[in-house]
Structure 1
Amino acid sequence: MKNLNKYVSIYQEQLKKGDILIAYNELVKFVMNLRTEFIKTQSDKYSFAGILHGYLDYTYFYYSNDFLKRKKLKFGLVLNHVEMRFEVWLLGSTKPIQQKYWELSRNTKWNKDKTEMPKYSILESIIVEKPDFDNLDKLTEQIEIKMISASDEILDYLKTLN
């Protein structure tokens, strides 16, 4: 690893240019607006938690329903900053829960190419591969439709397990 001072210098240099700050702030604001919109349109199906910021790698919020809560599971709507795409993640409330459901879903379409459990989730579904941030209304609609579709599909699978 390079000297930390070198990384900090590069980081500071990029921040001073301003583009990264603008992009990051606008992306976080967009995810916050998604959450607000989904609370309005999807609160009959899910409850939504607050926005969480990763380490410039992910911005996300959790959402859940009674079925998931009984299983100690939840979904996350994730903006993956490195890949610049939106994903739905299934997560467990503890490591043992994550491990249990990873074992149960290891051979599903979501995990078929994985040899080990993802770092943060049980499974991940890419819902918008190349978001168009120049049309946020359309992007919001696209994310909502695909988020609900992916969530329903995962829920249907989970219901077959018991």
Structure 2
Amino acid sequence: MGSFSNSMDEFKKRVLKGDIIVAYQGLMNYFGYLKSHFRDEHPGYDVSGGTYFGYMDMTYFPIFTETLKKRGLKIALVFVYETFRFEVWLAAKNKKIQNEYRQIFTDSGWKKYHITAAGKEVDSILDSVLVEDPDFSDLDSLTKQIRKATQEFISDIEDFLSVHEN
């Protein structure tokens, strides 16, 4: 990676070209739409939290269900810039709860979704790729893919938690 100054020169060129601004604004607008979609179409989901716009590392918003919320857990619907894909994460409100549930999933022999390794910069307990190569030319289909896979992820986790109470 080059120096900060060189990186800023490259960033300036791309911003002045205009495409990066249009793309970023489009992605932020789509995230707003997705959040509204989950709030309006899924009354059992609490989608009242703010959207984290990030530092071009990730953008996400949280989704809560009663089952998750009472345990200090949440779902994060995430766009990861480095891999340019949508993911869904099981996360916790703090590291203590995160580590506790990571251990519960690990001890159970869980294989359905990836269990993340503990670490200072790790925000998830479990993660799953929702859409590997998003097609932004067909937002209706993209939304359906994200919705279906997110619902399945939530259902699988809630089913697991109903059997593995702590």
Any unmatched runs of 5+ in structure 2? none
Q: Percent identity?
A: 33
Any unmatched runs of 5+ in structure 1? none
Indicate the residue corresponding to 2:35 in structure 1: 35
Cα distance in 1 for residues equivalent to 2:90 and 2:81: 18
Q: Is the counterpart of residue 138 in structure 1 residue 137 in structure 2?
A: no
Cα distance in 1 for residues equivalent to 2:4 and 2:129: 33
Task: Confirm or deny: 8 A CA contact 2:88 2:127 kept in the other structure.
Answer: yes
Task: Confirm or deny: 8 A CA contact 1:73 1:91 kept in the other structure.
Answer: yes
Deviation readout 1:56-91 (Å, 9 max, x if unpaired): 121111010121111000001111222122111001
Q: Once structures 1 and 2 are overlaid, which stretch shifts more, 56-65 or 12-21? A: 12-21
- Count residues in correspondence: 159
Cα distance in 2 for residues equivalent to 1:124 and 1:47: 20
- The secondary structure found in structure 1 opposite 2:86 is strand
Task: Confirm or deny: 8 A CA contact 1:57 1:81 kept in the other structure.
Answer: yes
Deviation readout 1:38-70 (Å, 9 max, x if unpaired): 111002x11002221111121111010121111
Indicate the residue corresponding to 2:54 in structure 1: 54
- The secondary structure found in structure 1 opposite 2:62 is strand
Cα distance in 1 for residues equivalent to 2:13 and 2:56: 16
- The secondary structure found in structure 1 opposite 2:51 is strand
- The secondary structure found in structure 2 opposite 1:132 is coil
Indicate the residue corresponding to 1:98 in structure 2: 98
- The secondary structure found in structure 1 opposite 2:52 is strand
C-alpha RMSD over aligned residues? 1.7
Q: CA deviation at 1:4?
A: 2.0
Indicate the residue corresponding to 1:70 in structure 2: 70
One-letter amino acid matched to 2:125: I
Task: Confirm or deny: 8 A CA contact 1:88 1:151 kept in the other structure.
Answer: no
Indicate the residue corresponding to 1:24 in structure 2: 24
